[in-house]
Structure 1
Amino acid sequence: MVVPGADARLRDLEIELPPPPTPFGAYVEAVQVGTLLFLSGMLPVIGREAVYHGRVGEGLSVPEGYNAARAACLSGLAAAKAHLGSLNKISRIAKLGVYIASPGDFQEHPKVADGASELLRDVFGASLVPPRIVLGVSSIPLGMPVEIELVLEIES
């Protein structure tokens, strides 16, 4: 099942994707294996510039964390579109992982992760909301508050 209109939904929602991210090290942003597209960990960046720094619950609020998760997910969509040519080729979001830099007593992880989940719901529709894992971690590369992982099923 191809999701018609994901590219059009972005326009309707007045969401502009950032430029596709470029690696900060020795890796690639996307690899397709059969009908699955695996994306590298996506950070809240525009180009190579961080949009947010710090830890959620310690310097950054939950709403800022939500916005960081959304920004990281936008980077993921930009990487997917650069690889595929169109988001309309995505037939399913197989997995969403959200990693949140936070102190040990932080408990609002789901509210932060919803920044990515709700963006995916809005772009692809409620029927494609993915399963997800949400974890608190002590740090994320380059001092950023959120990193997301996406596995996408591509039309065959």
Structure 2
Amino acid sequence: MPKNGPESRLVELAIELPPEPTPFGAYVEAVQCGSLLFLSGMLPVIGHDPKYIGRIRRDLSVIEGYDAARTACLSGLAAAKAYLGTLNSIRTVAKLGVYIAATEDFLEHPKVADGASELLLQVFGPDKVPPRIVLGVASVPLGMPIEIELVFELESPRAPR
């Protein structure tokens, strides 16, 4: 395991990945195309159980939204690790999309999205922080407040585990 790789950082930060998420419908959690790994939308779940339900500002605070984004990102890391066998084969985080179900007048989307961005910063380091898009949406599947999109560039285009 590389000394400064994401697997070592998880240990140093005492971050334990949740069980890999399981689909809520007819889809897979990850697909590799060449050196890119695309993940399905990640929700704030632990395995298959929602951790948060509701809209930001109406039902949940900004702090709870931040944690929901972090939880969804942890599920994404768990899905990537389950697919690849190790997070150390990730060269960089190529894209982060954060979709937030909030009230119409909610304006603090970046603060909520930072739950995912800051986790990626901690795990992968400042040179691998991705570009991101943050959007407020009318709803997210199953009444959850957050859905995130992740794309990773891999060290080499190899067959999945």
Q: Which TM-score tier does this pair reach, normalised by the shorter chain? A: over 0.9
1:72 and 2:72 correspond: yes
* Separation of aligned partners in 1, 2:3 and 2:149: 20
Counterpart residue number, 1:41:
41
Deviation at 1:5, TM superposition (A): 1.6
Counterpart residue number, 1:146:
146
Deviation at 1:104, TM superposition (A): 1.1
Gap runs ≥5 in structure 2: 157-161
Whether contact under 8 Å (1:76, 1:150) holds in the other structure is yes
Q: Map 1:46-57 onto structure 2 (within 5 A).
A: 46-57=46-57
Runs of 4+ residues deviating >2 angstroms:
none
Deviation at 1:38, TM superposition (A): 0.2
Counterpart residue number, 1:99:
99
Gap runs ≥5 in structure 1: none
Q: CA-to-partner distance for each residue in 1:109-137, whole Å, 9 max, x for gaps?
A: 00000000000000000111100000001
Measured on the aligned residues, the alpha-carbon RMSD in Å equals: 1.2
Q: Map 1:53-64 onto structure 2 (within 5 A).
A: 53-64=53-64
* Separation of aligned partners in 1, 2:59 and 2:82: 33
Q: CA-to-partner distance for each residue in 1:36-85, whole Å, 9 max, x for gaps?
A: 00000000001110000000111100000000000000000000000000
Whether contact under 8 Å (1:18, 1:74) holds in the other structure is yes
Deviation at 1:138, TM superposition (A): 1.1
Residues 139 and 105 (structure 1), Cα distance of their counterparts in 2 relative to 1, 3 Å cut: same
Deviation at 1:3, TM superposition (A): 9.4
Counterpart residue number, 2:120:
120
Tell me the amino acid that sits aligned with residue 113 of structure 1. A
Tell me the amino acid that sits aligned with residue 60 of structure 2. L
Sequence identity, in percent? 72
* Separation of aligned partners in 2, 1:87 and 1:4: 12
Give secondary structure in 1 for the equivalent of 2:95.
strand
* Separation of aligned partners in 1, 2:150 and 2:116: 10
Deviation at 1:4, TM superposition (A): 4.4
Tell me the amino acid that sits aligned with residue 112 of structure 2. V
Tell me the amino acid that sits aligned with residue 153 of structure 2. E
* Separation of aligned partners in 2, 1:102 and 1:42: 17
Tell me the amino acid that sits aligned with residue 27 of structure 1. Y
Counterpart residue number, 1:31:
31
